[in-house]
Structure 1
Amino acid sequence: MLLGMSPLACCQCSVQDISSFTVTPNYEIIFFSSELYEIVNIIDFLDEKPPDVKSKLEEFVVGGENTGTNLNLVFEKFLEKMAIIKIRTGVESFKEHHHALILFTDGAYNMGGSPAATVAKMKNMVYMNEYESRNDYLDIYIFGIGDDIFDDDLMRLTAGTGGRHYFRGDDLENLQETFDEMINEDEVKGLCGLHKEYRVPYKYLKRKMYPWVAFIYTQVRVSLNSTCMGALVTPEFVLTAAHCIHGSLPEKVIIEIDDGRGKFKKAKTVISHSNYNVTAKKHKGINEFYDYNVALIQLEEHVQISTDVRPICIPCTLETSAALHLVDQTCESQEKLLLKNHLERLNFLTKTKNMVDIKYVHAKLGDNRYECIRQALGVEGITQETLTEAVTDNFICTGGLEPFRDHIACPGDSGGAVFKNFQHRTIQVALVSWGNENVCRFDGVQESTRTSRDFHINLFRVVPFLKSVLAKKDQDYAPLEFLEN
């Protein structure tokens, strides 16, 4: 992967997007004007000394001392590095290398002459006189940004198959949307948790930012009663809280998730955790008990996967290990990575006029947990003696003012995903279950008070339930692959 750059933000957004895929490319990153500034050397990857690409980019300071645009110098540098790779790896291994050049420029070229001859040499090196069979081994993408662009000159420098390779933008504001166009959805649509990030989160972009979000309704007589949120975990299943659909027949449950084939989906089956029983601890004075408050809704028809609709990643699956780039294929390694700190920053969503808005919270784990859960005392008959029976180890606690002021869940947030983003992939670690007090004066993003707390079901604690449904074979849906251990 070779990146030639002018604006720093373009490079950072490109690397972030590429890093969300399961493959791990090698990078050459160059900034250029009339001279070259090498930020990341692709040869370091061959020497098994891979640099921290993100840190290198953050450390680089763009100078303004040079003017002019020497594109030929950029392509000559790329050609040189490709030649070194060919020598170092050998011809047969080089044949298996796929080369993708992504070049951002705010001008054409006014120095160094036309790069056309250099591009022709690159093509000859990769195609090896076998154009028909090897033309997909080289892609040259060019982004022309600004007013002083000569489209015809730049378009001739592109290469590759499978869609557009030249993109035009007047500024950087729509760069992320433009960059999205060059991603082949057929190749990545099976990746859980993949989503888009935009600097300005307009309402029409929210489905791409949170493609797994779903809204749960129950039908009362002829009207729909908005109850909860949920998360798409496979094309056929939505994960939510059991109390959201408890007592409702499948035909009375409606799921809102617009995949382009209709906004509302019918439920085929609803499956709550077998241990969910809100009155299970009533004999101990706990009026409402929300442990195992988790349910799966099977859709009558699977959703159409796209950039707008895509499953979130859930714990202890092979897909999630791939998303996290984990070599150690264990459930424990996933949990240690995602919930490793005693104060772990997490998010969940709330339904608003903008479709959804994001809430920021901190999970109080380890030594911080007891001080958080003790705020449940007095709620629904919970006493000091029954506290840990009501708020079991299956719950993650958030809320309060210390050390940061968290947002708090409001009516309608229940069942929604509590998630963490990892390199452009979203992993659901919990779901919103219940809270100790309602401090919401209106819908939307609300801040916690000193004593308000939320309790979320930790999905790592209910993996056997998820696996019993989602990994079941010989069904009319494709099973998820869970880790053996």
Structure 2
Amino acid sequence: MDISASIEEKHFNDAKNAVTKLIEKIASFTVTPNYEIVFFSSEVFEVVRILDFLDKKITLKAVLTELENFKIGEKNTGTDLNSVFTTFLERMAIIKQQVGEERFKEHRHVLIFFTDGAYNMGGSPAPTVEQIKNMVYMNQTGPQSNQSREEYLDIYIFAIGAEVFDSDLQPLATGIGDRHYYKMKDITNLQETFDDIIDEEEVKGLCGLHKDYETQNGNKRQRYPWWASITIKNQGLPRDCLGSLVTTKFVLTAAHCFTFEDLPKHVKVVIDDGQGKEKKIKTFKIHPQYNISAKVNKGVKEFYDYDVALIQLEEDVNISSAARPICIPCTQETSDALKLVGESTCKQQEDILLKTHLESLSFLTKKGITVHEKDVKAKIGDNRDDCIKHALEAPGIQTNDPKEVVTDNFLCTGGQEPTVDHISCKGDSGGAVYKNYEHRTIQVALVSWGTKDLCGSGGGVVNSDRTSRDFHINLFRVVPFLKSILGDDTLDYAPLTFLKS
């Protein structure tokens, strides 16, 4: 990052924030790159040394701390852009010497510069860039080579500043494709550009990845790439529910979306994965303990315990940034997303995801052809009893014990204290109740039932009143059912890896 006199402090701070977000984004992919971070003017300030990674002297947390703490001191009058490239060349040479040539061949090198390209010291960096290329390419580049190594080096230039020297900067950018040189008027939000840089193929198998912003055309598919629309048409009016893609072949939803007479041919699942929106259904499976009439004799007309079902699709969903599974509890995939090392447990995951007695969660509602996000606070621990008591006010409830209606398998949301929650509407049933954890989305529950219909016919984002409540099946409480199907490695689909405890 350029800190010479020609770079305004605003550009410096914006670049620093952009790099922080990029490092955090990469960390969410469960990969662990080594970093070298330098600021330069007439001299180079090594804030984070890549050699410290080889010696295991630094952690990712320390990298972000060092980056945050670096401040511009007195401005240097000169700018030596070549010295930065020379620093990188020297560090790469040391790495090659330490790891040996064969292991060095496996290293991928990504250099990202924020500069206006103006330099008055050190000469042109072009010859140094050629040396870097020669070190990485090993004379194996171009169409005539059977072992082209161009993909092992990317040099990205983000041109910033009041006056940019394009002719000097553009030739320094290199790599496969033409997206390596960016002229930036505003770098406050580079997330979309960084997502373009990142190779989707390398990370598409990871659950819970999503874009943290809406794309320019307003399509929310990439922000919530796991959401599915479900319609069941058998007898009478069609029933609409939401669901979540939990593997390439399974959609998780609520059991009460189905009736005893429904068959797979009556179920329509829509997931826009670029290969046809409507998905053919192979079968669906309802939790064996779900029984809506189980407590009629106890004054509970409709009992929604174990209100969970899985829909199996005929074919795998085409995974991309627009269609990708959400993470679910008690799987190794979720432990990776939470950065839990070693042999992790369900309890560890639950302690992270549902750690407070007022846990911020979200779920979706469909309005028209798009979805909108609703925000709630799950009342846990000491707050739970005061929340679930309002279940007694729901139609068809004639018991005085709220725990007969709302078992420990439910999370409770709604009301206006300490904040006004959103409330579920008809059609929200089965949708994921989730939280975002460092760029990964993890589902902790699914929308089951509520005490009041405050939405009217339009649905959408609606506020709770003082006593309205929603109850969501806590996925941590139905893991055996999920594991029996999604973790079965004897069938013709890729299973999830469930934790031992």
Band the TM-score falls in, shorter-chain normalisation: 0.7 to 0.9
Which deviates more from structure 2 when the two are superposed, residues 379-388 or residues 240-249? 379-388
- Matched residues in 1 for 2:386 and 2:52: separation? 48
For residue 187 of structure 1, report the CA deviation from its aligned partner.
1.5
**Contact kept in structure 1, 2:299 and 2:399, CA below 8 Å:** no
Structure 1 residues 479 and 51, CA, compared in 2 at 3 Å: closer, same or farther?
Answer: closer
Structure 1 residues 356 and 482, CA, compared in 2 at 3 Å: closer, same or farther?
Answer: same
- Matched residues in 2 for 1:268 and 1:47: separation? 50
**Contact kept in structure 2, 1:254 and 1:266, CA below 8 Å:** yes
2:6 — aligned with what? none
Q: 1:24 aligns with which of 13, 32, 36?
A: 32
Q: 2:275 aligns with which of 257, 261, 284?
A: 261
1:110 — aligned with what? 119
**Contact kept in structure 2, 1:35 and 1:70, CA below 8 Å:** yes
- Matched residues in 2 for 1:277 and 1:203: separation? 44
Which deviates more from structure 2 when the two are superposed, residues 377-386 or residues 319-328? 377-386
- Equivalent residues in 2 for 1:138-153, closer than 5 Å: 138-144=153-159, 148-151=163-166, 153=168
2:201 corresponds to 1:186: yes
2:477 — aligned with what? 461
2:253 — aligned with what? 240
Which deviates more from structure 2 when the two are superposed, residues 316-325 or residues 173-182? 173-182
Deviations 1:202-248 (A, max 9, x none): 56341111111111112257x98351111111111111111113342
1:11 — aligned with what? 19
**Contact kept in structure 2, 1:400 and 1:450, CA below 8 Å:** yes
Which deviates more from structure 2 when the two are superposed, residues 331-340 or residues 51-60? 51-60
Structure 1 residues 450 and 87, CA, compared in 2 at 3 Å: closer, same or farther?
Answer: farther
- Matched residues in 1 for 2:41 and 2:364: separation? 43
Q: Which runs of no fewer than 5 residues in structure 1 stay unpaired?
A: none
Q: Which runs of no fewer than 5 residues in structure 2 stay unpaired?
A: 4-10, 142-146
Structure 1 residues 58 and 347, CA, compared in 2 at 3 Å: closer, same or farther?
Answer: farther
1:48 — aligned with what? 57
**Contact kept in structure 2, 1:3 and 1:11, CA below 8 Å:** no
TM-score norm. by structure 1 comes to 0.88
TM-score norm. by structure 2 comes to 0.85
Aligned Cα root-mean-square deviation (Å):
3.2
The secondary structure found in structure 2 opposite 1:293 is coil
2:7 — aligned with what? none
For residue 368 of structure 1, report the CA deviation from its aligned partner.
1.8
Q: How many residues in Structure 1 have an aligned counterpart in Structure 2?
A: 481
Structure 1 residues 301 and 96, CA, compared in 2 at 3 Å: closer, same or farther?
Answer: closer
Structure 1 residues 69 and 193, CA, compared in 2 at 3 Å: closer, same or farther?
Answer: farther
**Contact kept in structure 2, 1:142 and 1:166, CA below 8 Å:** yes
2:8 — aligned with what? none
Give the residue type in structure 1 aligned to 2:18.
Answer: C
- Matched residues in 2 for 1:308 and 1:195: separation? 8
For residue 385 of structure 1, report the CA deviation from its aligned partner.
4.7
**Contact kept in structure 2, 1:145 and 1:169, CA below 8 Å:** yes
The secondary structure found in structure 1 opposite 2:221 is helix
For residue 69 of structure 1, report the CA deviation from its aligned partner.
6.0
Deviations 1:331-353 (A, max 9, x none): 22222221122222111111135
2:467 corresponds to 1:451: yes
**Contact kept in structure 1, 2:118 and 2:164, CA below 8 Å:** no
The secondary structure found in structure 2 opposite 1:235 is coil
Structure 1 residues 34 and 388, CA, compared in 2 at 3 Å: closer, same or farther?
Answer: farther
- Equivalent residues in 2 for 1:274-313, closer than 5 Å: 274-313=288-327
For residue 78 of structure 1, report the CA deviation from its aligned partner.
2.8
Give the residue type in structure 2 aligned to 1:244.
Answer: C
For residue 51 of structure 1, report the CA deviation from its aligned partner.
5.2
The secondary structure found in structure 2 opposite 1:216 is strand
The secondary structure found in structure 1 opposite 2:289 is coil
2:440 corresponds to 1:430: no
**Contact kept in structure 2, 1:286 and 1:380, CA below 8 Å:** no
For residue 474 of structure 1, report the CA deviation from its aligned partner.
3.4
- Matched residues in 1 for 2:398 and 2:157: separation? 65
Q: 1:101 aligns with which of 111, 118, 123?
A: 111
**Contact kept in structure 2, 1:235 and 1:305, CA below 8 Å:** yes
**Contact kept in structure 1, 2:430 and 2:448, CA below 8 Å:** yes
**Contact kept in structure 1, 2:434 and 2:443, CA below 8 Å:** yes
Identity of matched residues, %: 58
Q: 2:428 aligns with which of 409, 413, 419?
A: 413
**Contact kept in structure 2, 1:344 and 1:362, CA below 8 Å:** yes
- Matched residues in 1 for 2:51 and 2:35: separation? 9
2:233 — aligned with what? 219
- Matched residues in 2 for 1:10 and 1:342: separation? 33
- Matched residues in 2 for 1:252 and 1:212: separation? 22
Give the residue type in structure 1 aligned to 2:476.
Answer: F
Structure 1 residues 393 and 61, CA, compared in 2 at 3 Å: closer, same or farther?
Answer: farther
Structure 1 residues 34 and 422, CA, compared in 2 at 3 Å: closer, same or farther?
Answer: farther
Structure 1 residues 417 and 99, CA, compared in 2 at 3 Å: closer, same or farther?
Answer: same
The secondary structure found in structure 2 opposite 1:335 is helix
Give the residue type in structure 1 aligned to 2:243.
Answer: G
- Matched residues in 2 for 1:411 and 1:422: separation? 28
1:404 — aligned with what? 419
Give the residue type in structure 2 aligned to 1:447.
Answer: N
Structure 1 residues 139 and 422, CA, compared in 2 at 3 Å: closer, same or farther?
Answer: same
The secondary structure found in structure 1 opposite 2:172 is coil
- Matched residues in 2 for 1:274 and 1:64: separation? 70
**Contact kept in structure 2, 1:278 and 1:289, CA below 8 Å:** yes
Which deviates more from structure 2 when the two are superposed, residues 177-186 or residues 314-323? 177-186
- Equivalent residues in 2 for 1:186-205, closer than 5 Å: 186-198=201-213, 204-205=218-219
- Matched residues in 1 for 2:64 and 2:398: separation? 49
Structure 1 residues 314 and 94, CA, compared in 2 at 3 Å: closer, same or farther?
Answer: same
2:409 — aligned with what? 394
- Matched residues in 1 for 2:369 and 2:73: separation? 39
- Matched residues in 2 for 1:351 and 1:447: separation? 15
Q: 1:231 aligns with which of 214, 229, 244?
A: 244
For residue 25 of structure 1, report the CA deviation from its aligned partner.
1.9
Give the residue type in structure 2 aligned to 1:22.
Answer: T
Deviations 1:414-455 (A, max 9, x none): 111111112211111111111122222542222222212211
Which deviates more from structure 2 when the two are superposed, residues 88-97 or residues 386-395? 88-97
For residue 92 of structure 1, report the CA deviation from its aligned partner.
6.5
